[in-house]
């Protein structure tokens, strides 16, 4: 992935605060910046409560971002949207949700669910074109045309997630936000879905923002990874850089927590501990240090020096 | 790693030819088909399988919390324990009714940790009260005694400032803390068997590691036997001494953890091990087992895994394979283990993966 191209999505200092009470504000996302280039997959990882899902939801404007700039393919989609930008955003950015049963309308047939976006945005001339597109996308995600006439409850978890993916991709979007889209599935099915998403990306050239807490799965699908903790991106880089040369102690602890399927090794290994308070790290004081073209770490100058010398 | 001698006197649980079916509106589902399993004192068993493979149903039977439409068709579950006088008692759980199991054993001798700590705790009760409840119920402890023990338990499961936490409610705690409380409740009556049904699936990886280490530490200290139910082979590798792989209600492969992980024999185990994402290979594609698990509503002819199995033989579609002894504790239900079967070599990627695993492991020997 080269950097010369214009990013498809440029996020600058995005903030998303939620007002809990008169005196208390939750800073779910606190000033994050990143770029996503066309055709790549950007993985966003972190523990629950780190703000990764909030980031995804702010980008697609399910929330009103508190502050910051989001440029999506030349359109500024932060702040109040005008009609044209809104239409552009709604047709070109799509989301795949975590729980496929909860995000599909149980009273509609699968083909109707998939066709809904096409109908709302008047993308197709007539019903024949809609049917053709739906059949086409069903085939691409590995479902048959007959299965389109069934209801969501008649499918297994993996198949339902395929429907969710088909619904997102039928609009032919530029960017797909996949929010924990495989964590509700069985291991053997997870691999099927991840492989399918990769194949579709090769075929259609879609860009993915892949949000997950499972680092090992993210590794397979992502070109670049951003590690989030408490509303900040603490480290970002290519997949290799993050896995082979992690700098930030939080990234290290996250990597060490992945269990390896190797009994003798795994029984000896103890996961690294990360305690932000104990180490005296304040994310607000740090700034991004560049290690290589893509590799950035959030740190103060002192911390950066300390971590580099380790 | 010290190995547990699987010696008959130390046997806590003894499951033989267990068959369970569910009556549903669409017909009878044969959820468990001939499960045979032993659990020994101080041992950790992991039952691995996809959802719907029957792993949860097996342990729910032990707890007497089988759904009301479930029927135990046949089989034996012999549980050996020491009663108040220190005498050894043997009972068959299949012959007891569910209420009896719940009053006599559940919580006292066999305790369970569920997947989601938010739904397994009572939101209207302070956590201290919830920990005291089983002790007051089973051992008739006085409030004072129970409180003393509850505070000790909270400390044991790694919750600091137990006095303060004692009065708090579940919603005031984080997910990892809540799971620690659930573990404390499970340990309240000093059970012999602790069943952990996907104890860390709802938690983050960083917290998962800590909870698993905690359970292990407590197990070493108290010498209890643990049954893990999980689909994550990484977790299995970390905790288990003995593994049973379940598929469509049957145990297809079982054995000591090293036997199963370094020398898998069943094609389903091959698939599971290959589809496990690896953090240090550069392959850009994951192996996936094709197809999806069978519908147990229909009668399974032959090996249930055969339609998804690229190595399936003709006989796999006709007759169910028996359990073959392949050395040591290792048993496998696959026709490939039969003497007459053609020799099938492992898929190349898996071979490489196993080689690498062995090499990594040899450093620790």
In order along its 365 residues, chain B shows pLDDT tens digits of 455 667 777 889 989 999 999 998 888 888 898 999 999 998 999 999 887 788 888 888 888 888 888 899 999 999 998 877 878 888 898 888 888 888 888 888 999 998 888 888 999 999 999 999 999 988 899 999 999 999 999 998 888 889 999 999 999 888 888 999 999 999 998 899 999 988 887 777 778 888 888 899 989 998 899 999 988 888 899 899 999 999 988 999 999 999 999 999 999 999 888 887 776 666 667 787 887 777 777 777 888 888 888 888 888 898 889 999 988 889 999 999 888 888 888 888 888 888 888 888 888 76
Contact A73, A147 (CB under 8 A): no
pLDDT at B1: 45
Interface mutation target, options B115, B275, B294, B297, chain A, most CBs of A under 10 Å: B275
pLDDT at B294: 79
Which of these, A9, A7, A101, A102, lies nearest to A61 by C-alpha position?
A9
Closest CB from A220, A267, A271 relative to B277? A220
Chain A contact for B234 (CB, 8 A cutoff):
yes
Residues 6+ apart with CB under 8 A from A154: none
pLDDT at B361: 82
pLDDT at B68: 86
How many C-beta neighbours within 10 Å does residue B11 have?
Answer: 18
> Would strands B88-92 and A224-229 be described as parallel, antiparallel, or unpaired?
unpaired
Query: Quick one: CA torsion of B215, B221, B227, B229, rounded to 10 degrees?
Result: 10
Residues 186-215 on B with a CB inside 8 Å of A are 204-210, 213
Vertex A153 angle, CA A148 and A157, to 5°: 90
pLDDT at B167: 93
Helix or strand holding residue B272 (H, E): helix B267-275
Tokens read off for B335: 């026709």
How far apart are the C-alpha atoms of A50 and A57, rounded to whole Å? 13
Residues 6+ apart with CB under 8 A from B15: B35, B36, B37, B38, B58, B75, B76, B77, B78
- State what percent of residues in chain A have pLDDT above 70: 99
Shortest alpha-carbon distance between residue A192 and chain B (Å): 5
> Would strands A93-96 and B331-332 be described as parallel, antiparallel, or unpaired?
unpaired
Tokens read off for B150: 């509850």
| pLDDT at A193 > cutoff 80 | yes
> Would strands A224-229 and A232-238 be described as parallel, antiparallel, or unpaired?
antiparallel
Determine, for residues B273 and A261 on separate chains, whether the beta-carbon distance falls below 8 Å. yes
pLDDT tens digits, one per residue of A74-103: 889 888 888 899 999 999 999 998 888 888
Determine, for residues B205 and A258 on separate chains, whether the beta-carbon distance falls below 8 Å. yes
CA end-to-end distance (rounded Å), chain B: 10
How distant is the alpha carbon of residue A87 from its chain centre? 22
Q: Which residues pair with A297 in a beta bridge?
A: A235, A289
> Would strands A287-290 and A296-299 be described as parallel, antiparallel, or unpaired?
antiparallel
How far apart are the C-alpha atoms of A152 and A107, rounded to whole Å? 8
**pLDDT-derived band at A33, boundaries 50, 70, 90:** very high
Determine, for residues A261 and B237 on separate chains, whether the beta-carbon distance falls below 8 Å. yes
Using a CB-CB cut-off of 8 Å, the residues of chain A touching B273 are 261
Using a CB-CB cut-off of 8 Å, the residues of chain A touching B237 are 259-263, 265-267
Extended strands (E) in B25-145:
27-40, 44-48, 70-82, 88-92, 110-113
Please provide the average confidence, as pLDDT, over all residues in chain A: 88
Contact B229, B59 (CB under 8 A): yes
* Closest residue in A to B53 (Cα–Cα): A186
pLDDT at B256: 93
Tokens read off for A3: 């950097």
Shortest alpha-carbon distance between residue A144 and chain B (Å): 14
pLDDT at B280: 62
Which of these, A84, A46, A79, lies nearest to A61 by C-alpha position?
A79
How far apart are the C-alpha atoms of A259 and B238, rounded to whole Å? 7
Determine, for residues B237 and A215 on separate chains, whether the beta-carbon distance falls below 8 Å. no
- Give the sheet arrangement for strand B331-332, strand by strand: B110-113, B193-197, B225-230, B44-48, B242-247, B250-256, B331-332, B324-325
Closest CB from B51, B236, B287 relative to A191? B287
Inter-CA distances, A128 with A120, A132, A162, A249, Å: 16, 6, 23, 56
How long, in residues, is chain B? 365
Closest CB from A158, A261, A274 relative to B233? A261
Using a CB-CB cut-off of 8 Å, the residues of chain B touching A215 are 205, 279
Question: Averaged over A289-295, what is the pLDDT?
Answer: 88
pLDDT at A180: 86
Inter-CA distances, A7 with A89, A175, A204, Å: 16, 12, 18
How far apart are the C-alpha atoms of B188 and B108, rounded to whole Å? 8
Determine, for residues A215 and B275 on separate chains, whether the beta-carbon distance falls below 8 Å. no
Residues 6+ apart with CB under 8 A from A78: A14, A65, A68, A69, A70
Chain A contact for B61 (CB, 8 A cutoff):
no
How distant is the alpha carbon of residue A15 from its chain centre? 17
Burial of B265 per CB tally in 10 Å (0-12, 13-18, 19+): buried
Closest CB from B205, B208, B237 relative to A262? B237
* Closest residue in A to B363 (Cα–Cα): A265
Chain A contact for B286 (CB, 8 A cutoff):
yes
Contact B243, B254 (CB under 8 A): yes
B246 φ, ψ to 5°?
A: -110, 145
Q: Which residues pair with A236 in a beta bridge?
A: A226, A296
The alpha-helical segments, DSSP class H, found in chain A are 52-59, 83-92, 110-120, 127-140, 157-169, 187-204, 215-221, 239-244, 249-256, 263-268, 276-279, 301-309
Question: Averaged over A210-220, what is the pLDDT?
Answer: 86
| pLDDT at A136 > cutoff 60 | yes
How far apart are the C-alpha atoms of A33 and B359, rounded to whole Å? 42
CA end-to-end distance (rounded Å), chain A: 30
pLDDT at A213: 83
How many C-beta neighbours within 10 Å does residue A288 have?
Answer: 13
Q: Which residues pair with A42 in a beta bridge?
A: A209, A224
A59 φ, ψ to 5°?
A: -65, -40
Contact B271, B50 (CB under 8 A): no
Which of these, A130, A207, A131, lies nearest to A173 by C-alpha position?
A207
Residue ranges of domains in chain A, CATH in brackets:
9-309 (3.40.50.300)
* Closest residue in B to A47 (Cα–Cα): B204
Using a CB-CB cut-off of 8 Å, the residues of chain B touching A190 are 275
């Amino acid at each position: 992935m080269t950097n010369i191209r214009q990013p498809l999505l440029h996020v600058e200092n995005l903030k998303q605060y939620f007002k809990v009470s008169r005196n208390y504000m939750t800073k779910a996302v606190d000033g994050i910046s990143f770029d996503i280039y066309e055709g790549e997959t950007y993985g966003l990882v972190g523990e629950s409560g780190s703000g990764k899902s909030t980031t995804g939801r702010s980008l697609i404007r399910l929330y009103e971002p508190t502050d910051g700039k989001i440029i999506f393919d030349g359109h500024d989609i932060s702040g109040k949207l005008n009609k044209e930008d809104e239409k552009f955003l709604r047709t070109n950015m799509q989301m795949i949700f975590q729980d496929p049963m909860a995000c599909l309308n149980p009273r509609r047939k699968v083909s109707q669910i998939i066709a809904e976006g096409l109908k709302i945005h008047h993308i197709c001339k007539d019903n024949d074109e809609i049917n053709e597109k739906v059949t086409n996308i069903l085939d691409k995600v590995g479902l048959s045309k007959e299965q389109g006439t069934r209801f969501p409850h008649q499918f297994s978890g993996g198949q339902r997630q395929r429907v969710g993916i088909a619904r997102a991709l039928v609009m032919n979007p530029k960017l797909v936000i996949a929010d924990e889209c495989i964590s509700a599935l069985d291991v053997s099915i997870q691999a099927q879905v991840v492989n399918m998403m990769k194949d579709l990306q090769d075929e259609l050239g879609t860009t993915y923002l892949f949000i997950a807490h499972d680092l090992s799965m993210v590794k397979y699908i992502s070109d670049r990874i951003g590690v989030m903790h408490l509303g900040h991106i603490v480290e970002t880089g290519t997949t290799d850089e993050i896995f082979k040369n992690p700098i930030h102690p939080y990234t290290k602890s996250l990597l060490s927590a992945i269990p390896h399927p190797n009994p003798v090794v795994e029984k000896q290994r103890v996961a690294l501990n990360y305690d932000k308070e104990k180490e005296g790290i304040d994310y607000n004081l740090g700034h991004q240090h560049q290690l290589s073209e893509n590799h950035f770490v959030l740190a103060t100058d002192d911390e950066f020096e300390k971590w580099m010398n380790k | 790693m010290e190995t547990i001698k699987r010696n008959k006197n130390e046997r806590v649980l003894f499951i033989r030819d267990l068959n369970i079916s569910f009556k549903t509106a669409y017909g009878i589902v044969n959820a468990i088909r001939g499960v045979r399993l032993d659990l020994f004192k101080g041992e950790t068993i992991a039952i691995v399988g996809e959802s719907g493979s029957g792993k949860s149903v097996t342990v729910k039977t032990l707890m007497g919390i089988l759904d009301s439409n479930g029927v135990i068709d046949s089989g034996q579950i012999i549980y050996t324990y020491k009663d108040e006088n220190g005498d050894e008692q043997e009972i068959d759980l299949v012959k007891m009714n569910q209420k009896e199991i719940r009053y006599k054993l559940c919580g006292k001798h066999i305790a369970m940790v569920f997947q989601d700590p938010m739904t397994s705790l009572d939101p209207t009760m302070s956590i201290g009260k919830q920990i005291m409840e089983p002790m007051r119920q089973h051992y008739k402890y006085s409030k004072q005694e129970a409180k003393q023990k509850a505070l000790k338990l909270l400390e044991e499961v790694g919750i600091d400032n137990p006095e303060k936490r004692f009065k708090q409610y579940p919603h005031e705690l984080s997910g990892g803390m809540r799971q620690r409380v659930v573990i404390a409740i499970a340990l309240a009556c000093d059970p012999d068997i602790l069943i952990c049904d996907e104890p860390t699936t709802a938690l983050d990886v960083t917290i998962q590691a800590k909870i698993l280490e905690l359970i292990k530490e407590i197990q070493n200290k108290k010498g209890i036997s643990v049954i893990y139910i999980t689909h994550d082979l990484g977790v299995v590798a970390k905790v288990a001494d003995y593994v049973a792989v379940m598929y469509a209600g049957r145990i297809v492969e079982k054995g000591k953890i090293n036997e199963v992980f370094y020398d898998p024999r069943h094609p389903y185990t091959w698939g599971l091990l290959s589809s496990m994402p690896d953090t240090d290979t550069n392959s850009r594609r994951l192996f996936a087992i094709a197809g999806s698990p069978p519908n147990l509503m229909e009668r399974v002819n032959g090996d249930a895994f055969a339609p998804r199995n690229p190595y399936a033989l003709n006989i796999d579609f006709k007759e169910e394979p028996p359990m073959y002894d392949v050395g040591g504790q290792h048993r496998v239900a696959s026709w490939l283990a039969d003497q007459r079967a053609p020799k099938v070599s492992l898929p190349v990627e898996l071979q490489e993966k196993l080689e690498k695993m062995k090499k990594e492991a040899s450093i620790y020997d």
